Amino acid sequence: VLSSAQDFDFFYFVLQWPGSYCDTKQSCCYPTSGKPAADFGIHGLWPNYNDGSYPSNCDPDSSYNTSEIRDLLDRMRTNWPTLACPSSDGSKFWEHEWEKHGTCSESMLDQHSYFATALNLKNQVNILQSLKSAGIEPDGGFYSLTSIKNAIREATGFTPGIECNVDESRNSQLYQVYLCVDTSGSQLIECPVYPRGKCSSRVEFPAF
């Protein structure tokens, strides 16, 4: 119906660098399938409003159902690994993402489309390659925040949001990359609003 046709304005497609999740004070646990590749992994596809606020947990009646995405599970394990402790196969992480975020874009994407869309976006953008092409490597070195944003803009055509966290020595490090996507999940767009990134002007890119 018309009143529910526009229940969010755009998506954040959020990728996490596993090295920066794992080298924090909290540490991390590898999934039961083993250590993930040294690559950005999917954190989520998050419906958002143009004013920076966002809806969450929109439909308590739509629970996560593995059987709907059985054909995607191999790609999920590779591209959407969980690093939270204790070790698990990832389904709790994916369930959380569906229930908190995915249920808020159900007017556009059902559960299978939601996960397939995130996997397809991951295929479309190679953030690690974009950074390496600009000489920005996960080698524990420090890089200017501007150079990181520029490298991703060169490769994708769009300026990303960058979020940092801190390692055990309190160094600011590259944690998550936010790209903006239209409400159908098919096209990258210029971000209407950027998340508070918490980065210093120079940030570490730790190894994984």
Residue bearing tokens 């954040």: 12
Sole window of 44-52, 69-77, 116-124, 150-158 interacting with ligand 5GP (rule: CB under 6 A): 44-52
Q: Binding string to ligand 5GP for residues 167 to 206, with x set by CB under 6 A, is what? A: ----------------------------x-----------
3-state secondary structure of 182: coil
CA dist 182 and 140 (Å) reads: 34
Within 152-171, the residues that bind ligand 5GP by CB under 6 A are 165
- Minimum distance, C-beta of residue 43 to ligand 5GP, in the bound complex (Å): 5
Nearest CA-CA partner of 152 in 115, 208, 197: 197
3-state secondary structure of 179: strand
Q: Binding string to ligand 5GP for residues 61 to 100, with x set by CB under 6 A, is what? A: ---------------------xxx--------x--xx--x
CA atoms within 13 A on the CB side of 45: 30
- Minimum distance, C-beta of residue 95 to ligand 5GP, in the bound complex (Å): 9
- Other CB atoms within 10 Å distance of the CB of residue 190: 9
Within 19-38, the residues that bind ligand 5GP by CB under 6 A are 21, 24, 26-28
Q: Is 112 annotated in the active site?
A: no
- Minimum distance, C-beta of residue 140 to ligand 5GP, in the bound complex (Å): 17
By CB under 6 A, tell whether 46 contacts ligand 5GP: yes
**Contact between 54 and 192 (Cβ < 8 Å):** no
Which residue(s) pair with 153 in the sheet? none
CA dist 107 and 126 (Å) reads: 28
Q: Is 101 annotated in the active site?
A: yes
Identified binder of ligand 5GP from the candidate list 19, 36, 43, 109, rule CB under 6 A:
43
Whether residue 36 is preceded by a cis peptide bond, meaning omega within 30 degrees of 0, is no
Residue bearing tokens 């739509």: 62
Sole window of 39-47, 63-71, 152-160, 179-187 interacting with ligand 5GP (rule: CB under 6 A): 39-47
- Minimum distance, C-beta of residue 116 to ligand 5GP, in the bound complex (Å): 19
